[in-house]
Amino acid sequence: MTHQDKINANSLFWRELLDKLPATVLIFRIDASEQARLFFTNAHLKKDLGFSTEEYVLASETENSAVTKELEILVEEIARLSHTSKRQTSLPVIHLSNKQGKVLVYNFSFNVFQSKANRNNLISVILTPSLKGDADQGDIQQQVFEALNVTETMLSTVPDELPFIAESKVMQGVLDKVDTAASQSGHIVLHGEPATGKRTLAQRILDTLEFSGSEFEVRQADMSVDNGNEQFKMLLEKRPDTGSFLLTDVKQDLIIRLEAFHKLSELQLENLTRLLDERSRIDLNTRLVMTSRYSPDQLAEQGKIPTDLLYRYTFFPIPVPPLRHRKDDIPDIVESWTSRLVKALDMRPEPQFSNAQMNKLIDHDWPDNFATLKDVIRAAVLESADGKLELKLGAPASGKQGGLFAENLSPELRNVLTYDEMSRNYMSEVLKLTGGKIYGDDGAAALLGMPPTTLQSKLKKLKVK
């Protein structure tokens, strides 16, 4: 059986499995125009709405049809629910017309994710008839949630994490600093460019800290009480009777892992420092293990943190090098992850990069570090043929104009930002103005004059957090 035959057989297997699920499955793809378009539904649709799968997908592409309008409402509702801080106590509701034109009521559950196999942005939806009081409804809903996991597994079978390899002298020096910092008291700041492995190193520190405490993870994406993140709410909330922070009542050593320290607002930083001071006064150990774009000194110079913090607290800043500064690790990283991808896809014969291709990988600048490297390796493996890998690196310059004729450009032109970089900077500034808020009259989408779902797609494409 050829590799393509195996792919076809695997696709037929998953299609048959989805057709046997006891609920209707809808899968939307975010296309190049950043619109959610229905591209798959299973056979259960016939039972629920009377359409064949082909009829329903075709109807969804017909302008001003009832199906098109209802699915647009569904997608907008999913976008709203994805960003609401209010916890859902029951499945949301959508109204859909059957083939005879009768409007029916359905509960739905959904998952928004990115396919690891081909990097498509997808939305999976499971529909179940709204049957309040039906004894079997709880069982159906349980099958629905299990089906969501099956759907994502079908479209995300390729491993996404690069192996942790640190054999170069540069990384050995970093690991020595990590181990030294973990064995002493003080707050640790892993700083450097995006996608350089700071999270992985933070986990290594958590695994080797001397005192055994309660790990308390807070991601920068959750740095808003409004979004309902219980951990961050607990970090900031105070007792109504004493005015002290709730975490002061955690009578044990506490490790707080904090991502994107450089993005903390003034209020968030103030509350964090007050929490540290409160716990210190009652002799409770608290350690921050943080990732940041910049070191504490750099943040103080930029005015993002008060200078007095550098003297009030002990920080261990550890610079994490970009890939271009640890080229000795690149061959092992590439070979290890390529092998994992090949095995996951059961490819025969196993393709490998040639010596010439490996040299190009080593010499490349890697503008987005591991994020770029993963995309390059994934594309090479998925597009391979006859045991040969096709290498597509793109422009080598990081953040500036490059390419085959870069040496002929004037110094001024070489420093011109790319369109994506300019867009990324612009949208980042707009989000700062709105406090990270996208929806609503005072949100970034309204300010930019575009639908919130379109803005979400652009932010994800440009990797703006």
pLDDT, tens digit, 9 for 90 and up, residues 234-256: 555 565 666 666 566 666 777 88
Sign of CA dihedral 412, 418, 422, 428: negative
Q: What is the mean pLDDT of the chain?
A: 76
**CB 325 within 8 Å of CB 315:** no
pLDDT band at 111 (very low <50, low <70, confident <90, very high): confident
Give the pLDDT of residue 454: 77
Q: In angstroms, rounded to a whole number, what is the distance separating the alpha carbons of residues 338 and 378?
A: 8
Nearest Cα to Cα of residue 75 among 128, 119, 46, 39: 39
The pTM assigned to this predicted structure is 0.52
Q: What is the pLDDT of residue 188?
A: 94
pLDDT confidence bin for 389, thresholds 50/70/90: confident
Instruction: Output phi, psi for 303, to 5 deg.
Output: 80, 15
Predicted local confidence at residue 169, as pLDDT:
92
The reply to whether omega before 349 is within 30° of 0 (cis) is yes
Give 56 or 416, the one with higher predicted confidence.
Answer: 56
Q: Determine the Cα–Cα distance for residues 289 and 186; give it in Å rounded to an integer.
A: 9
Span of 81-95, 287-301, 450-464 with lowest mean pLDDT? 81-95
**With 0-12 CB in 10 A as exposed, 13-18 as middle and 19+ as buried, what is 296?**
buried
Task: Grade residue 116 by pLDDT with cuts at 50, 70 and 90.
Answer: low
Percent of the chain whose pLDDT exceeds 90: 18
Most confident range, picked from 52-56, 182-186, 187-191: 187-191
Task: Say which range, 105-109, 209-213, 235-239, has the weakest mean pLDDT.
Answer: 209-213
Q: What is the pLDDT of residue 294?
A: 93
pLDDT, residue 131, reads: 56
Using one digit for the tens of pLDDT, what is the confidence trace for 313-361?
A: 999 999 999 999 999 999 999 998 888 877 766 677 788 899 999 999 9
Residue 402 has pLDDT above 50, yes or no: no
Please report the pLDDT score of residue 330 as a whole number.
Answer: 94
User: In which band, very low, low, confident or very high, does the pLDDT at 117 lie, cut at 50, 70 and 90?
Assistant: low
Q: Lay out the sheet containing 254-258: strands in order across.
A: 214-218, 254-258, 286-292, 187-191, 315-319
pLDDT for the residue 234? 55
- Residues in contact with 437: Cβ distance below 8 Å, sequence separation at least 6, in sequence order: 443, 444
pLDDT tens digit string along 153-175?
A: 433 444 445 567 888 999 999 99
Under the banding of pLDDT at 50, 70 and 90, the label for residue 185 is confident
**Highest mean pLDDT out of 54-58, 138-142, 217-221:** 54-58
9 or 167, which is more confident? Answer: 167
